[in-house]
Copies of this chain bind each other. A is one copy, B any other.
């Protein structure tokens, strides 16, 4: 009884995810996958065009898991009982931090890979997932009654979440001692607190004429 093509792909992806999590992108080797999956190198290339596609598939799984079970659930917190914007955003950020902590090796790989796909064709499925995340944040922001039209609220959502993302990834230089973790969380708390307060007081409309050349 041999595994289905689909099942074998799943097995390969599971192995690939483990490899990425242990040693990053440069640890994803065709021969290692083949050996651990009990198949030959050639068979790996039968299931996937090349290692890039394996990496991409692993990333999609990770992003799916983050979006589905993580942030969306946090967005409508405790059965809609909590309406405070700051609490809900913080809960989402906490979910994101936990997720990154749970994938110390593969999450950096996601980012590095994502950055490297410059020459690839059109709008990827990545973008769709990211847009989804941004819309969740925008949904939470809508609950808070700042004077924001849809366009500006979307901008604020992207800005806020990119900032959270920056804090988390800047802090996690794989230096995962608890000191670092606390610092990251302090920064996230500060950011969210200041951001919400700033929105409440119309900071989103304060313009300055300084622009990049």
Closest beta carbon of chain B to A195's beta carbon, Å? 6
Q: Which single residue of chain B is at the shortest CB-CB distance from A174?
A: B118
Q: Is the CB of A118 within 8 A of B211?
A: no
Main secondary structure of the interface of A (DSSP, over half): helix
Closest beta carbon of chain B to A146's beta carbon, Å? 10
Q: Is the CB of A210 within 8 A of B118?
A: no
Q: Is A24 an interface residue (CB 8 A)?
A: yes
Taken together as a complex, chains A and B put the C-alpha atoms of A207 and B189 apart, in Å, by 7
Q: Which residues of B have CB within 8 Å of A187?
A: 155, 158-159, 162
Residues 156-190 of chain A: 1 if any B CB is under 8 Å from the residue's CB, otherwise 0?
A: 10110011111101110111000001010111011
Taken together as a complex, chains A and B put the C-alpha atoms of A191 and B183 apart, in Å, by 20
Q: Which of the four size classes fits the interface of chain A? A: 35 or more
Taken together as a complex, chains A and B put the C-alpha atoms of A206 and B189 apart, in Å, by 9
Q: Is the CB of A198 within 8 A of B208?
A: no
Taken together as a complex, chains A and B put the C-alpha atoms of A94 and B90 apart, in Å, by 28
Q: Is A5 an interface residue (CB 8 A)?
A: no
Q: Is A112 an interface residue (CB 8 A)?
A: yes
Q: Is the CB of B211 within 8 A of A173?
A: no
Q: Is the CB of A185 within 8 A of B203?
A: no
Q: Is A213 an interface residue (CB 8 A)?
A: yes
Q: Which residues of B have CB within 8 Å of A207?
A: 189, 193
Q: Is the CB of B171 within 8 A of A162?
A: yes
Q: Is the CB of B208 within 8 A of A86?
A: yes
Taken together as a complex, chains A and B put the C-alpha atoms of A196 and B194 apart, in Å, by 8
Q: Which residues of B have CB within 8 Å of A29?
A: none
Q: Is A197 an interface residue (CB 8 A)?
A: yes
Residues of A bordering B, CB below 8 Å: 24, 86-87, 90-91, 94, 97-98, 101, 108, 111-112, 114-118, 155-156, 158-159, 162-167, 169-171, 173-175, 181, 183, 185-187, 189-208, 210-213
